[in-house]
């Protein structure tokens, strides 16, 4: 089978998926740590939408201008997924995220007395 039909099938149906080729950033919770091997066990929602426990996730210390740190149990961390491999790249500050979320909410749905902002998607 090497004719035009096979080429069309190969190009349109059998072509490899790019689902795992693009890097994706996620937030995960640290369940256990191992400083000797520079790894952690984290709970993360994968790009397939499944909450999964990932073992032996490396911690990246090669970040310019960042003071070296190591996650603690219960920390929320930024994780990069590359080709089904995970790498911890930083710590997430949930209080800062909640403040930002609240500011955005008040900008979109302001109190009647504030006079600023407005509704989106009227």
Would you say 75 and 30 are in contact if contact means Cβ atoms under 8 Å apart?
yes
Token pair recorded at residue 113:
């007395």
Q: Which tens digit of pLDDT belongs to each residue from 68-95?
A: 778 999 999 999 988 778 999 888 877 7
Question: What is the Cα–Cα distance from 80 to 84, expressed in whole angstroms?
Answer: 10
CA-CA-CA-CA torsion sign (107, 111, 113, 115): positive
Q: Which tens digit of pLDDT belongs to each residue from 12-63?
A: 665 556 666 778 888 899 999 999 999 999 999 887 788 999 999 999 876 5
Residue 120 lies in a domain: no
Q: What's the total number of domains in the chain?
A: 1
What distances in angstroms separate CA 96 from CA 69, 91, 101, 103, 115, one per listed residue? Answer: 19, 12, 9, 11, 25
Q: Which domain holds residue 36?
A: 20-96
Residue 2 lies in a domain: no
CA-angle at 38, arms to 35 and 41, nearest 5°: 85
């Amino acid at each position: 089978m090497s004719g035009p039909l096979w080429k069309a099938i190969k190009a349109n149906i059998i072509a490899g998926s790019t689902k795992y080729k693009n890097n994706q950033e996620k937030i995960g919770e640290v369940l256990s740590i191992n400083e000797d091997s520079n790894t952690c066990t984290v709970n993360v929602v994968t790009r397939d939408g499944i909450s999964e426990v990932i073992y032996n996730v490396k911690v990246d210390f090669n970040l310019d201008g960042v003071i070296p740190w190591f996650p603690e149990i219960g920390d929320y961390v930024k994780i990069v997924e590359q080709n089904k491999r995970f790498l911890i790249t930083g710590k997430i500050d949930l209080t800062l995220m909640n403040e930002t979320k609240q500011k955005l909410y008040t900008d979109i749905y302001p109190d009647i007395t504030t006079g600023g902002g407005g509704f989106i998607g009227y």
